[in-house]
Structure 1
């Protein structure tokens, strides 16, 4: 096979596109196989889909290793090229529950108008299938690669990544210079370099337990917490505006309290999910929450009973921001442009494994096919041609990446 590096750029791009277009049918079949395997997390069972990935690596004669932090929660890492780890492209094997509202069986993929429907086609088995077809191309052009390219299929992304990406980076299994995470949607028109932080706060209301027949003999903690949550809607966060990220948000995702219908609850709690900006931190956020708590307390100042609103941090995941001048970002843009795709730099409210990678010294950004609005939705779909184009752009990136 003629080395692509000796071809003129236009001819090189044509050869890349021709290769992936010719593999479209195979990509579709491979994706259908992956979707037919239920890897709903929990419990995960990623090993079922990992067998398909493993078979591809074996067929392509790509060296790979298997890692499991827990039995059945499989991570696979294939290696192509020589030298130091340069780039990792990681997709996840697990999916969210299918839920209701599907027009077709979520685990029996259907193709209509060049779109495949099924649970996980977008998040994240479509991109995974595309990277496996990419692996075939890279293996054929292995001598032209500037370093070692890793194709990873990881576990547990939908439930925190403790058994997946977090495990792989903490054990220094992945130590590449760069990473591309195809888990943001964006139809190849976005490169995500910033993510909000996540702060889960347990808001606990403490009142006075009493008898349901004599409510005046207690202070209902549910009433106290409810008033707090109502006032929380108008909270004034202290922060500086960010060019890529929207204003901070807060939502009560869980609430519990009370032991019996005829007992005035003395304690209840809600878990607040706060998405915050780089200009904020847990200290400033707690200060803002306490101001709302003091306003709430004024409504109960005539109560003869002591009461309190307390806050405990259950999770703190710091915001992420990658320097937009990093060479990887410019390379993604220039490579995409050769295929008439012009991705813009964005930030996002959600979170990806880019955080874990960047925290461990691997510069990671999000770049992916697919419609963001169908993530975790019934009738999830992916445009098959977009997957082909995604593979082509990745191939160009891998060939032109520099150490």
Structure 2
């Protein structure tokens, strides 16, 4: 992946000279995502960091999370501290770091990178990739047309009272052949084929159906849905949400939209305006995966978010001093900005107790409540098994 066409061409020639003929190339992360989504898993990603580093980091996280690449080599001149930091990000994404190649690429260096990959493949047993290819565009479109994408609902709790404080709608694909698929199995494909809005609209309608059923029994609930930042670049989806609320006679406060922290840098004007439109409609806005992305305090003050969702990875070691410092500082930040703080990944009683002692009010996680199908969730709400 390189945004310089001459360098990209030279790199392709060098790879072919070394006997590598199955090569995908793209000038940006979006093009690379689309190529890999349509072609399947690749062995090595060669990524140029001289351009947009943030896009490259998002791309590496995506291919690692989805199991669509095994190793990465970086291209371009890079300071040692940057190399170390990016290497850690790549490793956390499940990618094998092969090294850094300076520009222009030397044939001998590239050959060493390929040898290192082949040698490590022999030494280490690579975990098989269950779905080496993402679902095809035709399969995703068929699944959407057949109504196979379902919203599952995971409760959110007030940690102080153990009462249900809302729920998050999570996408699941009930595939007729592969069974129940999680977002890691299909979300990259839905994004690559530009079908994310269609999937969200179906999940929103299912959420409205659940809210209407609750209203008939005299109950109400705030439902959260995940939004990709790219979905906010146009007005169509915002207008659809507004009309959906009006048709079902629900106030905007009924819905909360979560946007991943990584997607909030360099937002175009239209995206900022649409965030504001959602907030002015009464909808709540949450920064998802807070603490592992690239946002800034300036953005927190400028954008109309009213909730932070602290990523669950950050509270696994609840007894460590660094975790305590991070959580308590985030609690103080949220209070100073008049924002609600929700802790994700509450997976044990010790984590819940630790969070309570640090002043956290809201949490979500498998220890508190697992995602459920709509009908099961409705039955659960009638007599919820609340954490103690």
TM-score (norm 1): 0.21
Higher strand share: 1
Greater relative contact order (Cα < 8 A, sep 6+): 1
Structure whose CA Rg is larger: 1
Higher helix share: 2
TM-score (norm 2): 0.21
